[in-house]
């Protein structure tokens, strides 16, 4: 009886698929049998075979590294696939890489911690500052607001490389070169333009009545910011936080330039790039080391994939 | 170890305390001009950081590109060096090859995959598998592929899967990363491997936004799969295609981690971004480094301008 009018089935809703990354198409498909017929015509068996081939090819390299990381040292002259013929995986490499004495070249634990110490503030700092700026650009009217916002947007054009040399000279000038602080500030600066732009898109879509009502009730800007803006834009904050987290965790260039490359500050990526450079002595440890550096982003990725995709789509379809 | 986490928590606490204090003070500023103070407090931190960390450095770099390592003005000499030195010419040539191939191949593979798996069973899992490399660092990807390409001379047991496959099929193992010019293509494979997932996710979302009725009408008119793809799917996702190609192109122009990890730029594999890093931070040739950074900027500029134009046109249509 109520099936006659279904406002949710209107085609305009399909645009929300872009934002949410959800397959609205499937919803429509089950609505009528016609769509299923369309589907059957389009998906040939060859397409499925090709898809599975691509998926296989794309997964095999990572899988190989994963298997190789369990290979005993004495078998390092064998390919990772031989581990299936005589099965004796070992955790020895992980033990050495993480727990080894810090004098030798194999200790990654210190760099692993550095990565966390760099990444967590490197995510929180720019996010909070960007959120504040996004709120001001969206909801506090002031002169020159439009021009400033376009300027911030345009800064995404400036390649990181252009800022490195003077910024390093500046950090050395105020004597914080090669410290966590320098790396944090650098990541904060480089993360800001995109974060402000993306957050602005979300923040400006908050219903104006809410903000107005709060203002009429006598709420200050700060109160509005903490009580309305932050809670309502949590999904956007989550997706951009994941983005920034992965970007900072995976970064090599900023880390190399601003950390000084020492075991005190430099992250895993810097150490691994170095290890990969002088292949040989540590060859059997490299897979375990690389997999440790990969595991954190992979956990974040698989656990929060939905938000990651959302942030990506917001970024790519809106600019 | 705990000391490091201590530094981190101290940093976080100080940061939050400072921001909190500023916001609190702004909230209790004298009534006259309070709005102005509050606005300033919300925007100023970001703008100051961007000014100090991005705008001023970019201008400095532009000026530095006209000076030598001692800081004396030498006009266009650094740029002349870029376009005459055999090493930087090779980097330039390689960068052009990267910028043509990576966006093209990633987009083609990503689009094909998105179409193939659309509405198929296990779509989510299949998507995750190809998307996964996006989460891996370029350094990690470089190491993964170093192992794929690993080489042992003929007669020895191979450790790299690709050479093992060659040996199994009766061929000789190849030094994938040593022999120019093919080694650049083998490096490009790595970035394509990473970026295909990005292209696939964006294009897949855009394909799903195509109204079912349009596809249906085409099928009723007797269009086959390929005709539906070229006449319905492609035109509908043109906007997303532009975004995908642009984003990947810009990322490709700046890539240096993969080359640094896998070959360090040896055997004619260097790219402009890696050259820039080496000149500035290893050889202390700041002028050369700055000039190379400007070259990257100039190469990125037209792409972004084009993208902004397309975006504006789309907004007007809406």
Residues A171, A50 share a domain: no
Residues A102, A23 share a domain: no
Say if the Cβ atoms of B139 and A272 lie within 8 Å: yes
Return the CA Rg of chain B.
25
Residue B91: the pLDDT is: 95
Please list the pLDDT of chain A residue by residue as tens digits (319 residues): 333 333 333 333 333 333 333 333 444 444 445 555 555 545 577 888 888 999 999 999 999 999 888 888 777 777 788 777 777 777 888 887 777 654 455 578 888 899 999 999 999 999 999 999 999 988 888 888 888 888 887 787 788 888 888 899 899 999 888 899 999 999 999 999 989 988 888 888 888 888 889 888 888 888 888 988 999 988 889 989 998 999 999 999 999 889 877 778 899 999 888 887 765 566 778 888 889 899 999 998 888 888 888 877 776 554 3
Supply the CATH number for residue A309's domain. 1.10.3720.10
With respect to residue A258, please indicate whether it lies within any of the assigned structural domains: yes
Confirm or reject contact between A109 and chain B (CB < 8 A).
yes
Which of A41, A56, A71 delimits the end of a domain? Answer: A56
Residue A154: the pLDDT is: 78
d(CA A27, CA A11): 11
Residues A151, A51 share a domain: no
Residues A160, A36 share a domain: no
d(CA A277, CA A271): 10
Q: Token pair of B226, please?
A: 């390929």
Say if the Cβ atoms of A159 and B215 lie within 8 Å: no
With respect to residue A38, please indicate whether it lies within any of the assigned structural domains: yes
3-state secondary structure of B73: strand
Beta bridge partners of B73: B67
Residue A278: the pLDDT is: 66
d(CA B153, CA B151): 7
State the best of A76, A129, A219 to mutate against chain B, taking most chain B CBs within 10 Å: A129
Residues of B in contact with A29 (CB under 8 A): 119, 212
Residues A274, A194 share a domain: yes
Q: Which residue of A has its CA nearest to B238?
A: A317
Non-local CB neighbours of B104 within 8 Å, separated by 6+ positions: none
With respect to residue A286, please indicate whether it lies within any of the assigned structural domains: yes
Residues A265, A186 share a domain: yes
With respect to residue A42, please indicate whether it lies within any of the assigned structural domains: yes
With respect to residue A318, please indicate whether it lies within any of the assigned structural domains: no
**pLDDT-derived band at B311, boundaries 50, 70, 90:** low
Say if the Cβ atoms of B43 and A60 lie within 8 Å: no
Non-local CB neighbours of A305 within 8 Å, separated by 6+ positions: B128, B131
State the best of B43, B195, B302 to mutate against chain A, taking most chain A CBs within 10 Å: B43
With respect to residue A207, please indicate whether it lies within any of the assigned structural domains: yes
Which of A5, A26, A56 delimits the end of a domain? Answer: A56
Residues A259, A124 share a domain: yes
3-state secondary structure of B63: helix
Residues of B in contact with A152 (CB under 8 A): 46-47, 50
Whether the CB-CB separation of A301 and B190 falls below 8 Å is answered with no
Which of A5, A31, A56 delimits the end of a domain? Answer: A56
With respect to residue A136, please indicate whether it lies within any of the assigned structural domains: yes
Residue A319: the pLDDT is: 38
With respect to residue A279, please indicate whether it lies within any of the assigned structural domains: yes
d(CA B193, CA B200): 11
Confirm or reject contact between A148 and chain B (CB < 8 A).
yes
Say if the Cβ atoms of A181 and B119 lie within 8 Å: no
- What value of ipTM does the predicted structure carry? 0.87
Say if the Cβ atoms of B53 and A256 lie within 8 Å: no
Say if the Cβ atoms of A133 and B228 lie within 8 Å: no
Interface of A with B in 236-255 (CB under 8 A): 246, 249-253
3-state secondary structure of B12: helix
Confirm or reject contact between A61 and chain B (CB < 8 A).
yes
Q: How many domains is chain A built from?
A: 2
Q: What is the mean pLDDT of residues B187-213?
A: 93
A45-51 long-range Cβ contacts below 8 angstroms, 24+ apart? A47/B115, A47/B116, A48/B116, A48/B120, A50/B112, A50/B116, A51/B113, A51/B116, A51/B117, A51/B120, A51/B126
Write out the residue range of the structural domain in which residue A43 sits.
Answer: 15-56
Count CA atoms closer than 13 A to A37's CA, side-chain side: 9
Residues A230, A175 share a domain: yes
Tell me the CA end-to-end span of chain A in Å, nearest whole number: 44
Residues A125, A23 share a domain: no
Query: What sign for the dihedral angle of Cα A230, A235, A240, A241?
Result: positive
- For B125-152, the pLDDT digits (tens) are 999 999 999 999 999 999 999 989 988 8
What's the predicted TM-score (pTM) here? 0.86
State the best of A21, A290, A305 to mutate against chain B, taking most chain B CBs within 10 Å: A290
- For B70-113, the pLDDT digits (tens) are 878 888 999 999 999 999 999 999 999 999 999 999 999 999 99
Residue A106: the pLDDT is: 53
Residues A49, A104 share a domain: no
Average pLDDT, chain B: 89
CA distance A75 to chain B (A): 10
Q: Which residue of A has its CA nearest to B282?
A: A257
Residues A169, A277 share a domain: yes
Residues A180, A39 share a domain: no
């Amino acid at each position: 009886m109520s099936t006659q009018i279904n406002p949710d089935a209107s085609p305009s809703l399909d645009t929300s698929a872009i934002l949410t990354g959800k397959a609205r198409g499937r919803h429509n498909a089950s609505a009528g049998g016609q769509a299923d017929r369309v589907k059957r015509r389009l998906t040939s068996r060859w397409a499925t075979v090709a898809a599975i081939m691509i998926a296989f090819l794309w997964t095999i390299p990572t899988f190989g590294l994963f298997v190789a990381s369990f290979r005993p040292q004495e078998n390092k002259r064998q390919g990772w696939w031989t581990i299936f013929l005589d099965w004796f995986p070992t955790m020895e490499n992980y033990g050495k890489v993480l727990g080894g004495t810090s004098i030798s070249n194999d200790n990654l634990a210190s760099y692993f911690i550095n990565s966390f110490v760099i990444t967590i503030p490197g995510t929180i700092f720019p996010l909070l500052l960007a959120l504040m700026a996004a709120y001001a650009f969206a909801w506090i009217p002031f002169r020159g607001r439009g021009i400033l916002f376009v300027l911030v947007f345009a800064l995404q054009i400036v390649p990181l490389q252009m800022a490195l040399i003077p910024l390093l000279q500046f950090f050395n000038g105020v004597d914080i070169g090669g410290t966590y602080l320098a790396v944090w500030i650098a990541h904060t600066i480089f993360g800001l333009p995109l974060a402000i732009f993306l957050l602005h898109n979300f923040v400006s879509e908050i219903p104006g009545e809410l903000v107005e009502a709060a203002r009429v009730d006598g709420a200050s800007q700060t109160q509005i910011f903490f009580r309305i803006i932050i809670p309502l834009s949590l999904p956007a904050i989550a997706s951009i936080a994941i983005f920034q987290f992965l970007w900072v965790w995976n970064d090599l260039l900023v880390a190399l330039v601003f950390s000084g490359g020492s075991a005190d500050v430099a992250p895993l990526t810097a150490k691994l790039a170095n290890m990969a450079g002088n292949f040989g002595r540590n060859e059997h440890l490299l897979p375990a080391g690389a997999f440790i550096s990969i595991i954190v982003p992979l956990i974040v990725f698989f656990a929060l994939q939905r938000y990651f995709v959302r942030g990506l789509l917001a970024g790519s379809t809106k600019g | 170890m705990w000391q490091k986490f201590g530094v981190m928590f101290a940093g976080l606490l100080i940061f939050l305390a400072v921001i909190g204090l500023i916001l609190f003070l702004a909230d209790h500023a004298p009534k006259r001009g309070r709005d102005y103070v509050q606005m300033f407090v919300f925007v100023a931190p970001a703008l100051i950081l961007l000014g100090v960390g991005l705008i001023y450095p970019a201008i400095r770099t532009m000026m530095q590109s006209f000076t030598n390592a001692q800081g004396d003005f030498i006009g266009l000499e650094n740029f002349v060096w870029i376009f005459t030195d055999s090493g930087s010419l090779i980097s330039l040539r390689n960068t052009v090859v990267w910028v043509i191939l990576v966006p093209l191949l990633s987009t083609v593979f990503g689009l094909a995959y998105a179409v193939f798996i659309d509405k198929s069973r296990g779509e989510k899992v299949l998507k995750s598998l190809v998307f996964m490399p996006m989460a891996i660092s370029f350094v990690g990807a470089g190491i993964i592929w170093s192992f794929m390409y690993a080489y042992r001379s003929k007669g020895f047991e191979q450790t790299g899967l690709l050479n093992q496959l060659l040996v199994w099929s009766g061929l000789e193992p190849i030094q994938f990363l040593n022999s120019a010019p093919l080694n650049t293509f083998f490096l490009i494979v790595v970035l394509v491997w990473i970026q295909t997932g990005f292209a696939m996710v964006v294009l897949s979302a855009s394909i799903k936004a195509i109204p079912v009725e349009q596809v249906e009408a085409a099928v009723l008119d007797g269009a086959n799969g390929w005709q539906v793809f070229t006449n319905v799917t492609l035109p509908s996702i043109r906007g997303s295609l532009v975004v995908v190609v642009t984003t990947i192109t810009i990322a490709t122009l700046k890539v240096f981690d993969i080359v640094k990890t896998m070959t360090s730029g040896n055997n004619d594999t260097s790219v402009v971004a890696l050259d820039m890093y080496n000149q500035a931070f290893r050889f202390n040739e700041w002028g050369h480094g700055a000039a190379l950074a400007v070259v990257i900027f100039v190469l990125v500029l037209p792409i972004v301008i084009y993208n902004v134009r397309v975006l504006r046109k789309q907004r007007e249509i809406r």
